[in-house]
Amino acid sequence: MAIPAYRPPEDPGLWEAFLERLERTLKVAAVHPTTVEYLAHPKRLVTVSLPVVMDDGKVRVFQGYRVVHDIARGPAKGGVRLHPGVTLGQTAGLAAWMTLKAAVYDLPFGGAAGGVAVDPKALSPRELERLVRRYTAELVNLIGPDIDILGPDVGTDQQVMAWIMDTYSMTVGSTVPGVVTGKPHALGGSEGRDDAAGLGVALVLRELAQRRGLPLEGARVAVQGFGQVGGSFALHAEAMGLKVVAVSTGRGVMYREAGLPVGEVLRHYEATGELPDYHLAPEEVFALPVDYLVLAALEGALDGERAKGVQARAVLEAANFALTLEAEAYLLGKGVLVVPDLLTGGGGLLASYLEWVQDLNMFFWSADEVRQSFTKSVAKAVAEVCARAEGLGADLRTGALALALERLNEATRLRGVYP
């Protein structure tokens, strides 16, 4: 029977996916019913209407959201997404997933997420800035470096984070770099932040390859999604000796059996928004004969039907919820190693934590110091997830979920219920 839980008024989206995974993990993880109640009900859900003066002088109202899921282990932390598909249910699910991801990496954060239902590419730079600043102004009393820290997600970048930081700082009357992460270095951003998400995926793969005896040198990789995560992962994978044979976007797949010149392809993509060539349809990337398939686009990319064509020996979920439950069950049944987003997708969150710590102390580390701390934390997370999975005789996702829920359970127990 389904656990009692919050239900979004429409489009349950990723929140429903979170609840399904929560219910499954409760069968193997020791979690008190009080903790389950907390996790099944977000702490705060905010819906805001955002009137913006467009360049033609007309006013257009956009719908925005911010969800704080749980703060048992620390202040909330989560991204801001600008995408037409943003909904309250999706935002709640992403916030809950951030709660779990922070617990997997043993970071002192709770989970949050936010966004606006908009296509940012359809706005002029001035319209985009006005929208972002209005969104920030609506939330200014609910965010802060010790309350809820914002960061980049789909459709947002360093410039957006700079606007958020400036709007918040101007409102409270002092410069507060710690209200956001992923901002420009000139405003308190951390060294090594730009490629952190992709580097995290590469380091997780390297750690698992050493533990599981998987090949690296010359191993073939296909990357679905060639944005900031997929592009940086491809560069790091190439540097580690892997052969990136395919990258894809929503337009199609660039495939070269001998391997792609990743740097050259990435420069072309960043300059034009297009890959140099398209050899296959977008969905064909999933069935390529490779060792590793990396999912670095949006949620639900690999479903049960597409999973039947997968030839990779390991699938790495670099994007949140990139695998459906049906797809994962099928792949595990075939003996494919599935590396879950809670582990593979932690690089951005880990880098955000390091940036936040530096901002709070106003003391900044070198790129080498950041990279050393980052690498050590990834290795620790992989070791702990593997140990928990092996202890349960389960897959890596179950191990990661159990580890996260048990850490959240302990924090909730120690804090108690107020009042």
- How far, in Å, CA of 2 to CA of 84, rounded? 30
The distance in angstroms from the start CA to the end CA of the chain is 30
* Predicted local confidence at residue 298, as pLDDT: 85
Alpha carbon 350 to its chain centroid, in Å, reads 11
Helices 88-104, 13-25: axis angle to 10 degrees equals: 40
* Predicted local confidence at residue 193, as pLDDT: 79
- How far, in Å, CA of 368 to CA of 350, rounded? 15
* Predicted local confidence at residue 316, as pLDDT: 98
State residue 24 phi and psi, 5-degree precision: -65, -40
Largest CA distance in the chain: 64
Which residue type does 108 have?
Answer: P
Please calculate the CA angle 189-193-198 and round it to the nearest 5 degrees: 160
Q: Count Cβ atoms within 10 A of the Cβ of residue 223 and give its class: 0-12 exposed, 13-18 middle, 19 or more buried.
A: buried
pTM attached to this predicted model: 0.95
* Predicted local confidence at residue 101, as pLDDT: 98
Going by DSSP bridges, is the β-strand pair 243-248/44-53 parallel, antiparallel, or unpaired?
unpaired
Contact present, 95 and 120 (Cβ < 8 Å):
no
Strand partners, 115: 65, 81
* Predicted local confidence at residue 1, as pLDDT: 45
- How far, in Å, CA of 45 to CA of 43, rounded? 7
Q: What is the mean pLDDT of each run of 10 residues along the chain (419 residues)?
A: 84 91 95 96 98 98 98 98 96 97 98 98 97 98 98 95 98 98 96 88 97 95 95 96 97 97 96 95 97 95 96 97 95 97 95 97 94 96 98 97 98 96
Which residue type does 7 have?
Answer: R
- How far, in Å, CA of 186 to CA of 158, rounded? 11
State residue 59 phi and psi, 5-degree precision: -100, 130
Alpha carbon 388 to its chain centroid, in Å, reads 22
Among candidate residues 77, 72, 297, the one with its CA nearest the CA of residue 181: 77
